[in-house]
């Protein structure tokens, strides 16, 4: 019918049932006796067939059906539509008659093959293996690790900064908490966290140390040679200067949030505490994480 509408002179009779009905998509997929027979093989479609509305076109009916079928049945429904379309084309273009049972089986086979291929391509999909979050790693022997995180409190108009140092056995060495007011953009606050750590840690004379934070933008800018004239850029510039001046054989690296849990938990508790604190004993709120990460 669409070809007719575009001026192509072709027969409009349905090739599957030879009725005088115009072969539009509604007829082909739902009204044609051949297709109706095919749908009788599909139980889920049968139980939902009440949603098929003669007053609507095929697109509307397909949409309605997809709303009521579960995901698996909706997939088979789509494959069956495709297989009916293929049956029709085989008749028109290849003069082949696909049996109705074959049409439905072809749809099921297509779906099964697709599922098998999908499983094969994704052997580590969520269905088969739980998501593995990155874990915090101890520093190499003789080194220290310093995790930094910032938290942002609109309510208190403050940025909390937390810095936690551990040794190569994963044991807690020292932590520092502070807050800065007023609140600023996240990347600026995270950059101030790195600056604060770099200003403090070299005074402890620990030797080689790996700084880790979960702010990718800060780490990328720190490692980049590009000049940035913004406030953020000048903080990063100051970080680079301190790092080059005081830290030998050390590093600044990005880690995912899940591996920065100690600093993150400390930072959450930040804004309510005094403006500046050095913690010599393991703070209670991170004890369980520290023990976990030492294992
Ligand atoms: Zn027909």
Q: Is the same domain home to 9 and 61?
A: yes
User: Distance of CA 120 to CAs 10, 108, 111, 123, 128, Å?
Assistant: 44, 18, 14, 6, 12
In terms of domains, do 267 and 156 share one? yes
Q: How many domains does the chain have?
A: 2
With beta carbons less than 8 A apart as the criterion, state whether 183 and 152 touch: yes
Distance 38 CA to ligand 1 centre (A): 12
From the CA of 60, how far away is ligand 1's center (Å)? 19
How many whole angstroms from 279 Cα to the centroid of ligand 1?
80
Residue 128, domain member (yes or no): no
Q: Does the residue 274 lie in any domain?
A: yes
Same domain, 148 and 284: yes
* CATH number for the domain that contains residue 187: 3.30.420.10
Q: Separation of 47 CA from ligand 1 center, angstroms?
A: 22
Mean predicted confidence (pLDDT) in 140-147: 95
Separation of 2 CA from ligand 1 center, angstroms? 16
How far is the centre of ligand 1, averaged over its atoms, from the C-alpha of 32 (Å)?
4
Residue 68 CA to residue 66 CA, distance in Å, equals: 6
Query: Within this chain, do residues 88 and 225 fall inside the same structural domain, yes or no?
Result: no
Residue with tokens 């049996």: 99
Structure confidence at residue 7 (pLDDT): 60
> Per residue in 158-168, pLDDT tens?
888 889 999 99
More confident residue, 50 or 293: 50
Same domain, 45 and 175: no
Query: In angstroms, rounded to a whole number, what is the distance separating the alpha carbons of residues 114 and 118?
Result: 6
**Alpha carbon of 29 to ligand 1 centroid (Å):** 9
The model's pLDDT over 21-49, given as tens digits with 9 standing for 90+, comes to: 777 899 999 999 999 999 999 998 888 88
pLDDT for position 116:
82
For residue 31, how far is its CA from the centre of ligand 1 (angstroms)? 7
Q: What is the tally of helices (H) and strands (E) in the chain? A: 12, 6
pTM: 0.54
Where in the sequence is the domain holding 222, given as residue range(s)?
144-294
């Amino acid at each position: 019918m669409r070809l007719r509408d575009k001026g192509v002179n072709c027969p409009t009779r349905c090739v599957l049932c030879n009725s005088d009905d115009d072969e539009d998509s509604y007829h082909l997929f739902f009204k044609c006796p051949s297709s109706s027979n095919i749908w009788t093989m599909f139980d889920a479609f049968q139980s939902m067939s009440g949603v098929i509305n003669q007053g609507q076109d095929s697109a509307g009916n397909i949409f309605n059906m997809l709303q009521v079928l579960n995901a698996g049945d909706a997939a088979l429904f789509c494959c069956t539509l495709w297989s009916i379309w293929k049956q029709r084309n085989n008749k028109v273009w290849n003069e082949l008659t696909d049996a109705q049972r074959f049409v439905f089986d072809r749809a099921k086979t297509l779906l099964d093959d697709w599922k098998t291929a999908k499983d094969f391509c994704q052997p580590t999909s969520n269905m088969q293996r739980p998501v593995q979050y990155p874990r915090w790693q101890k520093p190499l022997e003789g080194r220290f690790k310093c995790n930094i995180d910032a938290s942002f409190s609109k309510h208190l108009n403050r940025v909390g900064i937390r810095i936690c140092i551990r040794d190569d056995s994963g044991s807690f060495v020292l932590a520092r908490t502070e807050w800065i007011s007023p609140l600023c953009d996240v990347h600026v606050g995270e950059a101030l966290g790195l600056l604060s750590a770099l200003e403090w840690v070299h005074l402890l004379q620990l030797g080689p140390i790996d700084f880790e934070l979960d702010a990718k933008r800060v780490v990328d800018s720190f490692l980049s040679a590009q000049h940035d004239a913004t406030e953020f850029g000048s903080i990063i510039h100051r970080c680079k200067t301190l790092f080059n001046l005081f830290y030998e054989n050390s590093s600044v690296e990005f880690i995912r949030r899940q591996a920065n849990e100690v600093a993150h938990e400390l930072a959450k508790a930040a804004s309510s505490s005094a403006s500046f604190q050095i913690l010599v004993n393991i703070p209670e709120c991170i004890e369980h994480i520290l023990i976990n990460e030492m294992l």
